[in-house]
Amino acid sequence: MEAAPWADRVRDEDELLTRLNRLASESATRRAQALREGVEETGSIAEVARVLGRSWNAVYNALKKQDNKKAPSKPGATTTE
């Protein structure tokens, strides 16, 4: 069986990358929500980090990244969602 033409394969891979990026973004949003719930339950980012065996910086940065993604940077600006 012959392989598909290279241009078709590139287009297929581009579509796959687009879907994977969307899925990764959605996953990061759900993960940040779970981290926020953990902070509410435990009372601190540091405690969530300790329970998960991660640095508090990793937890803080994951939350901050999602907050930055949702908040418009200028008045009247639209969000990425």
Asked whether residue 40 is assigned to any structural domain, the reply reads yes
Q: Is residue 79 part of a domain?
A: no
Overall number of domains in the chain: 1
pTM of the full predicted structure? 0.75
Q: 42: exposed, middle or buried (C-beta count within 10 Å: 0-12, 13-18, 19+)?
A: middle
- What pLDDT does residue 60 have? 97
pLDDT at 29: 96
Task: For residue range 21-57, list pLDDT tens digits in order.
Answer: 999 999 999 999 999 999 999 999 999 999 999 999 9
Range of the domain at 24: 6-70
Among the listed residues 56, 51, 24, the one whose alpha carbon sits nearest the alpha carbon of residue 38: 51
Reduce the DSSP state of residue 76 to 3 states and report it: coil
Domain assignment present for 29: yes
